[in-house]
Structure 1
Amino acid sequence: MFQPDLFAVPAPQEPVTPAPARSMDLPAVLERLSTLCERPRYSFMVLNLIAQASAQTGSAGPFVREGNRRVPVRDWLCEALMPVAQRDPRRRAIAGKVRAELEARRALPADPVEAEAVIESQVRKRVRQSGRTNVSRAVSELVRAGLVRRHYEGYRVDHQNRGAQRQAVYTVTEEARRALRQG
């Protein structure tokens, strides 16, 4: 004989029917980004910029035409997002650090206007380096979310892996493009 409360028989359950697949719209994109991305707002800005750069072909890169020059897509994204960092306290800290380094090396011009231009140039260079990392991280999250595909083009052959003078190419998926157009 066995003890009935130890081996309770579960009541028969109704079969679980999956929820109908929701077509991708802007709220669905935002929901997906908020669940899969560390910085969903930043990732959404990157997604919008990639969609803007890829308006005709669906792919952005390896270069984006800016006036009469061609800029690598990551650099273009970084430059486009730079105004967002203007009031960031970290940018001010970087400017202070650059000023201190230049003063310590006695490389700061005596003219205050020229000195500010040199400092701003160095700050932009450092922000661009960290911005490229931030853009790459955001694109990786967008790839993981299924909104963007990434591959590399360049020297020799197209390839899934970077390196060997290859540049990134970002392709917004068709469902993400539709959702962004609707929004």
Structure 2
Amino acid sequence: MERIAHLQSVGGILSVLAKISRRPRYAFLVLQLVAEIADDQGHSGPFVRRGNTVVLLRDWLCSQLLPLSEQNVRRAALRARVAESLADRLTGDPQLDAITLDAAVEEHVRSAGRTNVSRAISDLVRAELVSRHYAGFATNHCNRGGGRNAVYVVPYAVRCLLGRAGQCSNQVTEMGLKAATPIRTDRSAVLQGELFGARTSSNGQP
């Protein structure tokens, strides 16, 4: 965490990301969203509950960032490319073809979104602005991450700079943020039953 020890402002975070990420502004948006739903220990995920719905954190991040891909010109160009790739599956019926194209475009956008979020998180981890571990059942799976889902942790000092630490006692000085331990409260654990329930409903990957 040496890199963040001398950060003094949000501008410092952007400066760090500009050196590490090809899309620093996008990575910063992801950081803000992760910090927004973090608990008092800075943990976000592996699932996000919204009302009666539980979704994987990465899928929630994708849904929050979808407006960035909804510009009319870009979406029209994407739709044209998808229509060309699906030419052999189109029936000539405008209504049926519209349903097919809408579903294909939506899937393409969400797939690209998941990839973009994963890259942004990797940039944030390299910048030491976020750490990452996995939660869930350990399963006999060829993929070491199989059956588990990512949890992202935003350091206390970073949450202070973002204004997301509810009880921030740190003071910004010429030397940057002094190290401090946040006041912590009990964190509700995700029940194991919810791990399987959300995984089944979201069909997401770690």
Same fold (TM over 0.5): yes
- Return the match for 2:112 from 103, 114, 130: 130
Question: Which residue of the partner structure matches residue 94 of structure 1?
Answer: 78
Pair 1:124–1:137, CA change in 2 (3 A)? same
| Contact 1:91 1:127 (8 Å CA) reproduced | no
Distance across 1 between alignment mates of 2:42 and 2:146: 25
Change over 3 Å in CA distance of 1:89–1:181 after alignment to 2 = same
Determine if contact 1:95/1:123 at 8 Å carries over to the other structure: yes
Is 1:121 paired with 2:103?
yes
Partner of 2:29: 45
Which 5+ residue runs of structure 1 have no aligned equivalent? 1-20
Pair 1:178-2:170 in alignment = no
Superposed counterparts of 1:19-168, under 5 Å: 22-87=6-71, 91-107=75-91, 109-111=93-95, 115-156=97-138, 163-168=145-150
Residue identity matched to 2:52 = N
- Alpha-carbon offset, residue 72 of structure 1: 0.5
Shift of 1:164: 1.3
1:104 CA displacement: 2.2
Percent identical: 42
- What letter is aligned with 1:171? V
Q: Which has the larger radius of gyration?
A: 1
Q: Name whichever of 123-132 and 42-51 sits farther off.
A: 123-132
C-alpha separation in 2, matches of 1:97 and 1:110: 17
Structure 2 residue ranges without an equivalent (≥5): 165-206
Native 8 Å contact 1:24 1:175 kept in 2: no
Shift of 1:33: 1.3
